[in-house]
Amino acid sequence: MTATHPGTVAASGLDVARLRHEFPVLRAVINGRPLAYLDNGATSQKPRAVVEAESDFALLENANVHRGVHTLSQRATARYDAVREQVRRFLNAATADEIVFTSGTTAAINLVAQSYGRAVLRPGDEILLSEMEHHSNIVPWQLVAEAVGARIRAIPVTADGELDLAAVPGLLTDRTRIVAITHVSNVLGTVNPVRQIADLAHAAGAVVLVDGAQGVPHLRVDVRALGADFYVASAHKMYGPTGVGFLYGRLALLEAMPPWQGGGGMIQTVSFEGTTYAPVPARFEAGTPPVCQVVGLGAALEYLGQLDWAAVEHHEADLLRYAVERVGTVPGVRFIGTARERVGVLSFVLEGIHPHDVGTVLDLHGVAVRASHHCAQPLMRRFGVSGTVRASFALYNTRAEVDQLVGGLLEARKVFGA
Amino acid sequence: MTDASELYQSLILDHNRAPRNFRAMEQPDRSAEGYNPLCGDQLKVWLKLDGDRIADVSFQGSGCAISKASASLMTTAVKGKTLAEAGKMFDSFHRMVTGAGGPADDLPSKLAVFAGVREFPARVKCASLAWHALSTAMQTPATAPPGATGS
């Protein structure tokens, strides 16, 4: 069964109806209603071009990379390395050697924590995070901090859901070695002033890791303009496949870092007396990489590259504005996160109704949202809630889907007699 | 099921709004906590025993309507039952919400309002959270000193 949403010509001039055509799942019917997929912060849908690139590769061109002298393996290697160059361009990195493929954002952060972190951290050193971090930008640092006797500190979040910049200079000390912050909050949608924080961190002698998982789907990223020493993201939140992501690391830093995981593909020579390691980025890509998914990531980058980004940004900003306005009319709604600079995400609670229950009623209304702590429990505690309802948007969402969300919220109030 | 009111029946809404036995217990014989890491819901269940009979049972915590109402109705169902009877009730309840068996005849009829949960796999844990805590409590002697359990 399929259904279409009316009103898909956006004010930005972006032909959303045509875009949606490339994402067949968006025509699904869920519980008798057209699907309104507003859980893009968890994972975005994938356009045909991405799925077909993966499928074609797997069916017609599959081979391992960096192994064989045979033609298919050489072709696969060329494809794989070409995507590395695509990611370099996407992030405006200086060289493709600065791009390491990982299984995702989480693996990339763990790589930096276990390799860079273990190499530089001494007992009493400090890692500065923020109160709005996803657990995946907290726990890897706790693991290394525990192992080396380092200390975790956190930049507080204001009532609006912004980083409290006034607190940053006081939190940066001569022991701060690493500052790890998110580009865009997965709960609040806040776009953090990364450059400003990076300048402060660098002046204090620390390096900066930026969690770009929620940034790359919405923003045009320039790692050098941001002042990021490390920038990490996942393909599956930016219209690509699951199981692949990337780490950007400044070349001088990557080259000085010891390997994290050992295995095939990351060595120069191996003997029982000792092993020498491959240069970066191969040093950090032990084992057979997710070749097929990297090909899919390449297709996603190509897909993003042919879009009119000014129109996309205009459309997404319009959607968020419209959602704030319309959801704000529902009695009992309290927004969590009202930062001046936001993209893609709207979080709120509905007075007297647990987010989980709101999520179930919305699901019965065909609306897919996330209702939980969003893997950000410190932030939930900051706002005194156990969880929120989060609607997160992608370039293919429409005002009609926002209206459907509002209809579902009114239904939830009715069911619960609120 | 596509109608929210079939899941959220009035009995569930009533026990969500005004949960019964929703209080900490002084000097319990048994207690245990239930935690759902998926959603952060947590609750604590206290038991006072008279021999092997549940003389009093109470709970506290935060959670969704399903988990709160389930905890509340559970306390009303197991009060006065023996530990063995409560254990059998848990098994039947678990079978009902996971869809592993038909409506369990040995369950008090009011617990049947949770039969609809089986169509919402993501919510089965909500409905069974309190029961799992009860089951743990029944197997674990309370170790906290008297008066220290009210937090």
Give, as one character, the DSSP assignment of residue A59: I
The string of pLDDT tens digits covering residues A352-395 is: 999 999 999 999 999 999 998 999 999 999 999 989 999 999 99
Which chain A residue has the Cα nearest residue B5? A415
What percentage of chain A carries pLDDT values higher than 70?
Answer: 97
Which helix (H) or strand (E) segment holds residue A164: the answer is none
Is the model's pLDDT at A417 over the cut of 90?
no
Is the model's pLDDT at A67 over the cut of 80?
no
Is the model's pLDDT at A214 over the cut of 90?
yes
Minimal C-alpha gap between A42 and chain B (Å): 14
CA-CA distances (angstroms) from residue B10 to A162, B17, B96, B116? 41, 10, 19, 13
pLDDT band with cut points at 50, 70 and 90 for residue A4: very low
The string of pLDDT tens digits covering residues A272-284 is: 998 999 999 999 9
pLDDT band with cut points at 50, 70 and 90 for residue B36: confident
Cα first-last separation, chain A: 34
Is the bond preceding residue A279 a cis peptide, omega within 30 degrees? no
List the catalytic residue out of A17, A143, A375, A400: A375
Average pLDDT score over residue span A218-246: 98
Q: Which of A85, A110, A114 is nearest to A99 (CA)?
A: A85
- pLDDT on residue A243: 98
B2 vs A: CB within 8 A: yes
- pLDDT on residue A164: 98
The string of pLDDT tens digits covering residues B69-78 is: 999 999 999 9
SS3 A12: coil
The string of pLDDT tens digits covering residues A297-312 is: 999 999 999 999 999 9
Within 13 Å, how many C-alpha atoms sit on residue A213's CB side? Answer: 30
Residue B132 in tokens: 């799992």
Query: Do residues A99 and A281 make contact, with C-beta atoms less than 8 angstroms apart?
Result: yes
Q: Which residues pair with A105 in a beta bridge?
A: none
Give, as one character, the DSSP assignment of residue A70: S
Average pLDDT score over residue span B8-16: 94
Residues of A numbered 6-45 whose beta carbons fall under 8 angstroms of chain B's beta carbons: which are they?
Answer: 31-32
Minimal C-alpha gap between B129 and chain A (Å): 14
The string of pLDDT tens digits covering residues B81-117 is: 999 999 999 999 999 999 887 656 778 889 999 998 9
Is the model's pLDDT at B132 over the cut of 90?
yes
Residue A192 in tokens: 């953090």
- pLDDT on residue A8: 54
Contact state of A364 with B5 under an 8 Å Cβ cutoff: no
Q: How far apart are CA A392 and CA A397, in angstroms?
A: 9
A292 flagged as catalytic: no
Determine how many CB atoms are found less than 10 A away from the CB of residue A339: 19
